[in-house]
Amino acid sequence: MMRSPVLITGIGAATPLGSTYEQIAENLLKGTSGVCRVSEFPVQDHLSQIGAMLPGIPRPRAADCPDFEQWERPDRLAYWCCSSALKNSGLWEKRHGLRIGLVLGTAAEWNVIWENHLGQEAGGIEHPALPASLVHRMQSKLGLTGPSVSLSAACASSNFAFSIGRRWLELGWVDVCLVGGSELAITPTTLAGFGNLRALSRRNDDPTRASRPFDKDRDGFVLGEGGVVFALERADHARRREAPRYAEVAGCGASSDAHHMVIPSPDPIPATVAMRQALADAKVQPADVNYINAHATSTPVGDQAEARVLATVFGDDIKRIPVSSTKSMTGHLLTAAAAFEALACIVAMRERAIPPTINLDQPDPECPLCHVPNQPREHRVRIAVSNSFGFGGSNTTLVLKAA
Amino acid sequence: MHATLSMHESALAIRACVTGWSALRVPSDQLAALRKNPGVVPKGPLPPSLLRTADEQTVVGLSAVLKAIESLPADTDFDRWGVLAAPVHFGRIVNHAALKQFQQEGAWGISPNLIPQHSLHALSGTISQVLQARGPNFGIGNAPSAAEEAFLIATTMLSEKILPGLLLVLTGHEREYLPTQPAPDCEAVAFVFQDVRPAEHWLSLRLCPHEDEHSDQLQSLEPFSLSRLVDALGEPAPSGAWRLGPSGWLRLEACSGDNA
């Protein structure tokens, strides 16, 4: 089947590096770390006491949502991201006349609500009547009339959102689709759960240097929080209305390790299937790729496993294609990670510069890649690849082309 | 995909072919036995610890899938199959205990299994691992609307005609869990969607995600619930139609041979 191109025409974000494209691009290319000591709750008995926190969730125009401050935090974050993406694409005022879908990666929405409301009547885990899900609350608050779904493949979630949203556009089910991820998982029990799993960095005395993908001294990932949502449209629709064009969603690929719930497969083949599927979908040869935004979370096992996958897919070309992990700056946004990393690819395309992997002082010899350590690199990027792998054995790859 | 994506009745209606299915309703006192033996696993016994700390919706969901695939040929290779799982309030029971424990013990009271085994990805991830299914796997919804969202995503993926097979499992409880009341029964439905022309008995599943809200057809339908679907699938020739969300509908019909 011939695919009609699908373009990204709007971006909405609230991340540890900022809440506008300009802020995020500037911080990514300056190599700014968003990681700090967690101060929202006591962390003295947590193994990991650091995180890339949201500095705050920006408030949209009061006229659009006068009771915004009374909403739960997940609602405020998702609303900001979705409404900003629609405004950025020039569709906000027209949204009621369009069939707009929503596909959102999110996993911790109930955990956050249950934890915040423990012992309380309304919204608490002990209370039978729970509210509608986040996407349906967003659908109602934003006045969207297209289908809405939430999904989770843990850290790979938002790449699935791209794939589903693009397909809905191809099938004609929606005129516009909002896709992305929104996650606020830095809570006392989540920080404890990941910490007790020994997945998190314990570099508590040096937060900004804790997330160090591919570095020999990495000791785990850093939790992050935030959301990124994109407006997708078919190219003909976008061109007709002279919409902004950030990138084309050119290829999606997905596979599973079927190996372990947490540990990536030592066999690179399952993840290479996802990468090759995405490249074939985009009609791109490995040698054509100009930038790879790696999943690389800064865990000893995961970064090496991904390096083997990249070497298998790209062969000798991996020695010259720049690879970086922006999780070094943002921490791990979990279900929103893939969406943020798609945004990092767009920054690389538009700014003609690769965001660096910060804190990469001594590259792990088991990860022999064309790193971009600590400083951005000027580079023309037409085709970018972003990997996202998740608990449950999910492997996903997204290919973006300059539009 | 046989009989998939034939447009009819509405521009958005989709039809898919279900070659295997099962429905379970498991009282809480039977969960321990199911955890030890969820069913016949095609590629040998489960690792003994695989379900030890799994969520009860994972145990019942996996069991439903194993039962649904019993009707497939014994040599079915699931390697490129996809797995979709749509639980409702997954992990609620364990999270309740974990939150209480955190209040008493602090960070050390939280099990390292809490996130890997009781988050939305865990049900599909476990099934993928058990069946060695290496197509896409992910969780959907995690709210009362989960089934509606899952049917939408399943038909979206089937329309791509990439996967040789897709497993869809819906799980939940017959009523919401409340710590002050007896534990509710756990329910699961599993569907097998396959890219083959079924020889004998199969189910036709029709989904329309968006119909005129005021249409007589829509107004005459009962709202969808997992319990209603479990009951319908318990019949020798399952059939039924339900309203999905504000404006969609789902229809199931038993078929045999080519009587599409």
Mind listing the pLDDT tens digit for each residue in A179-194? 999 999 999 999 999 9
A394 — pLDDT class (breaks 50, 70, 90): very high
pLDDT of residue B48: 82
Q: Output the pLDDT for position A188.
A: 96
> Which residues pair with residue A229 across a beta bridge?
A12, A180
Across the interface, whether the CB atoms of A258 and B129 are under 8 A apart is answered yes
Phi, psi of B84 (to 5 degrees): -115, 135
Tally C-beta pairs within 8 A across A and B. Answer: 197
Write out chain A residues lying below 8 Å of B157, CB-based: 167
CB contact under 8 A, B96 and A125: yes
Question: Per mean pLDDT, which range of A113-117, B50-54, B230-234 is the poorest?
Answer: A113-117
The residue of chain A nearest to residue B178, with distances taken between CA atoms, is: A126
Percent of chain B with pLDDT over 70: 91
User: Quick one: what percent of chain A has pLDDT higher than 70?
Assistant: 98
| B34-50 residues labelled b (16+ CB within 10 A) or e (exposed) | bbeebbeebeeebeeeb
Q: Which residues contact B204 (CB under 8 A, 6 or more apart)?
A: B3, B15, B16, B17, B18, B251, B252, B253, B255, B260
Measured between CA atoms, the residue of chain A closest to residue B157 is: A164
Q: Residue A178, SS3? A: strand
- How far is Cα of residue B223 from the mean position of the Cα atoms in its chain? 18
Which tokens go with B152?
A: 């939408």
Chain A nearest CA to B178, separation (Å): 6
Q: What is the mean pLDDT of residues A17-40?
A: 98
Which residue out of B120, B126, B149 would a mutagenesis test of the A interface target, given it has the greatest number of A Cβ atoms within 10 Å? B120
Decide if B116 and A195 are in contact by the 8 Å CB cutoff. Answer: no
Work out the burial of residue A90: count CB atoms within 10 Å of its CB; fewer than 13 is exposed, 13-18 middle, 19 or more buried: middle
Q: Enumerate the β-bridge partners of residue A215.
A: A363
Does residue A31 carry a pLDDT above 50? yes
Distance (Å, rounded) from C-alpha B66 to C-alpha A209? 47
Q: List chain A residues with CB under 8 Å of B112.
A: 193, 196-198
Average pLDDT, chain B: 89
Residues of chain B with C-beta less than 8 angstroms from the C-beta of A118: 99, 103
Residue A253 has pLDDT above 60, yes or no: yes
The pLDDT of residue B4 is 38
Nearest chain B residue (CA) to A393: B125
Query: How far is B67 from chain A, CA to nearest CA, in Å?
Result: 20
Letter string b/e over residues B215-233, b meaning 16 or more CB atoms within 10 A of that residue's CB: eeebeebeebebbebbebb
Contact between residue A180 and residue A230 where contact means Cβ atoms under 8 Å apart: yes
| Tokens at B237, concatenated | 């020739």
Which residues on neighbouring strands pair with residue B251, listed in sequence order?
B206, B241
Is it the case that residue B171 has pLDDT exceeding 80? yes
Residues of A in Cβ contact (< 8 Å) with B143: 110, 130, 132-133, 136, 150
**Bridge partner residues of A183 (DSSP):** A226
Q: Is the pLDDT of residue A226 over 60?
A: yes
Decide if A285 contacts A320 (C-beta within 8 A): no
Is B122 in Cβ contact with A392 (below 8 Å)?
Answer: yes
DSSP string, chain B: -TTTT--BSBTT-EEEEEEEEEEEEE-GGGHHHHHH--S--TTSPPPTTTTTT--HHHHHHHHHHHHHGGGS-TT---TT-EEEEE-BSTTHHHHHHHHHHHHHHGGGGS-TTHHHHHSTTHHHHHHHHHHT--S-EEEE-BSTTHHHHHHHHHHHHHHTT--SEEEEEEEEESS---TTSPPPPEEEEEEEEESS--SSEEEEEEEES---TT-HHHHTSEEP-HHHHHHHHTSSS-EEEEEETTTEEEEEEEEETT--
Min Cα–Cα distance to chain B from A292, Å: 21
CA distance B6 to B2: 10
Per-residue DSSP letter, A3: P
Residues of B in contact with A393 (CB under 8 A): 125, 128-129, 137
Instruction: Name the strand (E) or helix (H) holding A21.
Output: helix A21-30
Closest partner residue to A132 (CB to CB) among B102, B145, B157 is B145
Token code pair at residue A124: 């608490």
pLDDT interval class at B213 (50, 70, 90): low
pLDDT at A120: 72
- Quick one: closest CA in A to B115, which residue? A193
Q: Which of B121, B129, B152 is best to mutate for the A interface (most A CBs within 10 A)? A: B121
Who's near A362: CB < 8 A, 6+ residues apart?
Answer: A215, A216, A217
Q: Which residue of B has its CA nearest to A270?
A: B134
CB-nearest to A115 from B99, B125, B134 is B99
- Catalytic residue numbers of A read 155, 295, 332
Percent residues over pLDDT 90 in chain A: 91
Residue A279 has pLDDT above 90, yes or no: yes
- Give the least confident one: A81-90, A184-193, B204-213, B229-238: B204-213
Placement of tokens 């496993």 in the chain? A305
**Given pLDDT bands bounded at 50, 70 and 90, which one contains residue A123?**
low
Indicate if the pLDDT at residue B8 is higher than 70: no
pLDDT at B258: 61
A351: closest CA of chain B, how far (Å) = 33
Smallest CA-to-CA distance from A102 within B179, B153, B125, B193 is with B153
Contact B112 A111 (CB under 8 A): no
Q: Is the pLDDT of residue A38 over 70?
A: yes
Which residue, among A1, A144, A151, would best test binding to B if mutated, counting the most B CBs under 10 Å from its CB? Answer: A151
Angstrom distance (rounded) from CA A16 to CA A227: 10
- The minimum CA-CA distance between B200 and chain A, rounded to whole Å, is 30
pLDDT of the residue at B5: 35
The reported pLDDT for the residue numbered B223 is: 92
How confident is the model over A257-278, as pLDDT tens digits? 999 999 999 999 999 999 999 9
Residue B7 has pLDDT above 60, yes or no: no
pLDDT tens string B35-66:
999 999 998 888 888 999 999 999 999 999 99
Task: Read off the pLDDT band of A282 (50, 70, 90).
Answer: very high
Look at residue A232 and tell me whether its pLDDT is greater than 80.
yes
Contact A392 B98 (CB under 8 A): no
DSSP sequence for A362-391: SB-TTS--EE-BSS-EE---SEEEEEEEET
Write phi, then psi, for A84 (nearest 5 degrees).
-65, -40
Which residues on chain A are in Cβ contact (under 8 Å) with B81? Answer: none
> How many CB atoms neighbour CB B247 within 10 A?
17
> What mean pLDDT comes out for the span B97-112?
95
- Closest-CA distance, B111 to chain A, in angstroms, reads 6
pLDDT (mean) for B224-250: 91
pLDDT at A316 over 60: yes
Helix, strand, or coil (residue A393): coil
Q: Which of A1, A100, A110 to mutate to test the interface with B (most CBs of B within 10 A)?
A: A110
Of the pLDDT bands very low, low, confident and very high (cuts 50, 70, 90), residue A109 is: confident
Identify the residue with better confidence: A81 or B215: A81
Annotate A39-75 with DSSP letters as a single string: -SS--TT-S--EEB--S-PPP--TTT-TTGGGS-HHH
- CA distance between the termini of chain B: 14
Which residues does A174 contact at the CB level (< 8 Å), separation at least 6?
A99, A100, A101, A146, A147, A165, A168
Q: Which of A110, A188, A273 sits opposite B102 (nearest CB)?
A: A188
Residue the block writes with tokens 């189910």: B203
The pLDDT-based confidence of A116 (bands split at 50, 70, 90) is confident
B239: its two tokens: 């059939």
Q: Determine the Cα–Cα distance for residues A355 and A374; give it in Å rounded to an integer.
A: 9
A169, closest residue in chain B (CA to CA): B156
Q: If you measure CA to CA, which chain B residue comes closest to A45?
A: B107
Pairing of strands B82-86, B201-208: unpaired
* Average pLDDT, rounded, for chain A: 95
- C-alpha distance from A277 to closest chain B C-alpha (Å): 11
Give how far Cα A199 sits from Cα of A156, A218, A220, A300, B89, Å: 17, 11, 5, 10, 25
Q: CA angle B135-B137-B141, nearest 5°?
A: 150
- At A11, which helix (H) or strand (E)? strand A6-14
Of A52-56, A69-73, A386-390, B42-46, where does mean pLDDT reach its minimum? B42-46
Q: How many angstroms separate the CA atoms of B209 and B153, rounded? A: 11
Facing residue for A110 by CB, picked from B89, B139, B176: B89
Span B79-86, average pLDDT: 98
DSSP character string of A207-253: GGGT--TTBTT---B-BB-EEEEEEEEEHHHHHHTT----EEEEEEE
More confident residue, A129 or A381: A381
What is the ipTM metric for this complex?
0.96
Summarize pLDDT for A320-355 with one digit per residue, the tens: 999 999 999 999 999 999 999 999 999 999 999 999
CA-wise closest residue to A298 among A50, A55, A94, A74: A50
